[in-house]
Amino acid sequence: MEITPGIESMANNAAPYVGMSTTVSFNGKSGNISSGGAELLFNNKKKFDVMLPSSDKPWTIKNLLKWIKDNLLEERPELFIQKDSVRPGILVLVNDADWELLGALEYEVQPNDRIMFISTLHGG
Partner 1 sequence: MPVKCTRCCVKVAVLKRPKTSDALCKECFFWAFETEVHETITRAKLFKPGEYVAIAASGGKDSTVLAYIMKLLNERYNYGLKLVLLSVDEGITGYRDDSLETVKRNQQQYELPLKILSYEELYGWTMDAIVRQIGLKSNCTFCGVFRRQALDRGAVLLEVNKIVTGHNADDIAETVLMNILRGDIARLQRCTLITTGTEGAIPRSKPFKYTYEKEIVMYAYFKKLDYFSTECIYSPNAYRGHARAYLKDLESVRPSAILDIIHSGECMSVKDGIKLPTQGLCTRCGYISSQEVCKACVMLEGLNKGLPKLGIGKSSKVKRRVESLCKDASKEEESC
From 11-19, 23-31, 52-60, 64-72, span contacting partner 1 (CB under 8 A): 23-31
Of the pair 27, 54, the CB lying nearest partner 1 is at: 27
Of the pair 56, 98, the CB lying nearest partner 1 is at: 98
- Angle among Cα 80, 117, 51 to the nearest 5 degrees reads 95
Residues 98 and 118: their CA atoms lie apart, in Å, by 11
Residues 26 and 110: their CA atoms lie apart, in Å, by 19
Q: Which residue ranges make up the site for partner 1 (CB under 8 A)?
A: 27-32, 34-37, 87-89, 91, 93, 96-98, 100-102, 118-124
